[in-house]
Copies of this chain bind each other. A is one copy, B any other.
Amino acid sequence: MAETFRRVAERARAASRTLALATRAEKDAALIAMADDLVAATEPVLAANADDLRRAEAGGTPPNILDRLRLTPERVEAMAQGLRDVAGLPDPVGEVVRGSVLANGLELRQVRVPFGVVGMVYEARPNVTADAAGICLKSGNAVLLRGSSSARSSNAAVVEVLRAGAERSGLPADVVQLVPGHSHDSVKELMRARGLVDVLIPRGGAGLIRSVVEESTVPVIETGVGNCHVYVDAAADLDQALAIVLNAKTHRTSVCNAAESLLVHADVAETFLPRVVAALQEAGVTVHGDAAFAAYEGVVPATEDDWDVEYLSLDISAAVVPDLDAAIEHVHRHSSGHTEAILTRDQAAARRFVAAVDSAAVLVNASTRFTDGGEFGFGAEIGISTQKLHARGPMGLPEMTSTKYVVTGDGHVR
């Protein structure tokens, strides 16, 4: 491990010890100070961002990625507002998750505590820098940020401001640090820092997440790949179903909770297929269909790969299934375990789909787009976990904590 990385990680650990004992009032004051400082530093932050944009343009970065990289006064204000919003949320640290008095009089409490040091590996958007720092600080965790090298000037400028804000309010600046270096080596060091880093959260494309999951010896929370299915049951309200399919697919295509695959019960295929194909095509969606769908004009015959792909675009795979169990079986085989929806008025069908489908979120008569920390009322979201360990689904502040048992006695021995 490079000595510079070790020093950074050890400073994070030391800062985390102080932060773990900070009161909610102290943490909220730091978040507000960071927000105020960020707005005050709009000019230097935008100047740093202009550096990144110049470099990216010179490198031939496509316009949609450039747009994600770009900061504006409004986006800086939004980052600051995000920090203020987190200050307004309840502090998860110290919450008593369960408690009891044992038969022998020992008092047992399980209480929420910070993880300690959290590593974040993320791509493109510089706003994640402030979001992640705010959520980690409020949950009592020091954070090591490893953004993409394309945003390195912006991230450095933002982190400098956040550190100064934390320090100004009396917390150690090292509660927020950038991982030194921009090569893949710096990600490797985070992944190997078992004992120095408590949890690693990758946010970004499927490739980034896969490589972190496979190589990290630090425990990882996997986020975000969504091959989400909408199943239109025989007993669906077809008007509702049409609206939900359109919303799930087209409301925003680049997000993990967008629908990527449509399954329709054979009993309603004849009525529903012409309507849904026409509506999707009118909205600019390319339908990659099985034989039943491919009978409609403009539908592209699906290949085997289409059932597993997360398009993140105006594309959807579509198949007719003979019954509910075939729909469940299709989901088991092809889903990434993010979000699936059943559209039905049949209570027994809904109950069976909800019980059998093994995904982070299962929705009944609602768009897949609702799987979201904001929609769920969490106030802040660090990502959507698609793993089963620790946290599953949208992760808010409580998911950024561990617990410990506190046991109080009066000379108790066994």
Contact = CB atoms under 8 A, between A and B. Distances in A.
A389 interface: yes
Contact of A356 (B17, B377, B390, B405): B17
Interface string A358-384: 111111111101110001110000000
Given A392-B402, A405-B393, A408-B365, A358 B217 contact: no
A25 interface: no
B411 A244 contact: yes
Interface in A39-96: none
Nearest to A359: B404
A107 to B, nearest CB: 9
A251 interface: yes
Nearest to A247: B413
A106 B370 CA distance: 9
B243 A413 contact: yes
Nearest to A221: B389
Contacts of A217: 213-214
A363 B199 CA distance: 25
Contacts of A403: 392-393
Given A389-B219, A413-B243, A407 B237 contact: no
Interface residues of A, number: 70
A92 to B, nearest CB: 13
Copies of this chain present in the complex amount to 2
Interface stretch (A108-116, A178-186, A271-279, A296-304): A108-116
A237 B406 contact: no
A188 interface: no
Contacts of A6: none
B366 A409 contact: yes
A364 B388 CA distance: 33
Q: 3 tightest CB-CB pairs across the interface, nearest first?
A: A366-B409, A247-B413, A240-B411
Interface of A: 17, 20-21, 100, 102-103, 106, 108, 110, 113, 115-116, 194, 198-199, 213-214, 217, 219-221, 237, 240, 243-244, 246-248, 251, 332, 350, 354-356, 358-367, 369-371, 375-377, 387-390, 392-394, 402-414
Given A102-B377, A362-B405, 10 more contacts: A17-B356, A17-B358, A20-B356, A106-B366, A198-B388, A247-B414, A362-B404, A365-B411, A389-B390, A392-B404
